[in-house]
Structure 1
């Protein structure tokens, strides 16, 4: 178990870096404790830059009374994770480094923070019309399953999938980063608090009462400006079937 008489986050993080990475070129403390959102179960997220390493790695351990997740990179490997995060529109590594409190710096952290900020400010790659069309189809398909389902156990997980799709569609069509888990709500709030309240209310109402109407209305509302529901005529790939039945 983690010691409840733990050191404060900054002291523990400094001790951790001095103990395990005394020769590193830089390190930052990131995560919920830095943002002032820490809870009793929060851990310390520490990003370390050590140019003696050939490759990056991630490790979890307990020390100094804290659960600690350490993300270790050399001075180029982090760029690969920047690229991966950019492609999926979830800039986790960029946020950690940009928001992070500097624990150690031998003249490298500032430029890496600037790289992270540039990506965060730029936003994710814009969706093409074809991608938007495909996402409309997926939302339509899951929404139809949700409406037609009368099995409560199945309904719950269809609703979960629909919530993920709605959050992604709203944020990506507006050029915003998306999230996962608790970051779904955080990402939505950064975009539009009023919409986030409607989103939470719709799904909270469903989970508490089984009432589907708010979720249905919300789903239809967010795709309506892009053409609404999509089923007939949608295809993926080079071919399709015409209304006459011939392959086109």
Structure 2
């Protein structure tokens, strides 16, 4: 097979499982190819369940014309990943399992998918007031740096840090799953498309025109229901 020729993703995934995990109990194909969001550089995300394994692992391949990421679990190890992903409010493994297309199943997938869907529907833990105040303080501190910054390069990286923090704040205070990288905007769009567009416009105005005002306005609007910016009076770790 030519390296640049890509098999149909489901066919490629089935062949990969048959070749590399012939005795597994079940396997799923997840990721962008399943959601209809694939690009020229998308890979195949395959989740494999095998009761014979002692521990889970992750491995990368290039085969059948695709970059392939495989996440291999026994019939209990995936639960730890479900739990840790939900604890950090970035449910990568539950989402892969819930959305995944079945490649092979010896009778376990329905149960595992149901577990994933329950966790996703439940949403992340609610932030207590102490965490909200800490996040307000960190965002305020970064915003002050951003407002006072006269070095364009420093302002660009500060804006990037603000974008991740303020998106997390919006999502977590509204009991939504958060994300990083491309999942920041995907999570915002899932929550509120209108707000996501407002968010994009604010940062584009800075990156394109060096205008900070829309980012400042965005942050103030997001923080206002929780008391606004926080600096004076903030304390952490004091007994």
Q: 1:5 deviation in Å?
A: 1.6
- Bigger radius of gyration among the two: 1
Number of residue equivalences: 238
Determine the structure 2 residue equivalent to 1:154.
Answer: 154
Determine the structure 1 residue equivalent to 2:119.
Answer: 119
Provide the secondary structure at the position in 2 that maps to 1:24.
coil
Determine the structure 2 residue equivalent to 1:24.
Answer: 24
Determine the structure 1 residue equivalent to 2:166.
Answer: 166
Could you tell me which runs of 5 or more consecutive residues in structure 1 were left unpaired when the two chains were aligned.
Answer: 240-248
Determine the structure 2 residue equivalent to 1:97.
Answer: 97
- 1:236 and 2:209 correspond: no
**Cα distance in structure 2, aligned partners of 1:202 and 1:6:** 39
Deviations 1:78-136 (A, max 9, x none): 01111110111000001100000000000101100000000000000000011111111
TM-score (norm. length: structure 2): 0.98
Q: 1:179 deviation in Å?
A: 0.9
Determine the structure 2 residue equivalent to 1:242.
Answer: none
- 1:226 and 2:193 correspond: no
Could you tell me which runs of 5 or more consecutive residues in structure 2 were left unpaired when the two chains were aligned.
Answer: none
Determine the structure 1 residue equivalent to 2:144.
Answer: 144
Q: 1:161 deviation in Å?
A: 0.5
Q: Which consecutive segments of 4 or more residues in structure 1 shift more than 3 A?
A: none
Determine the structure 1 residue equivalent to 2:201.
Answer: 201
Provide the secondary structure at the position in 1 that maps to 2:103.
strand
- Counting only pairs closer than 5 Å after superposition, residues 37-186 of structure 1 correspond to structure 2 as 37-186=37-186
Provide the secondary structure at the position in 1 that maps to 2:48.
strand
**Cα distance in structure 2, aligned partners of 1:112 and 1:136:** 37
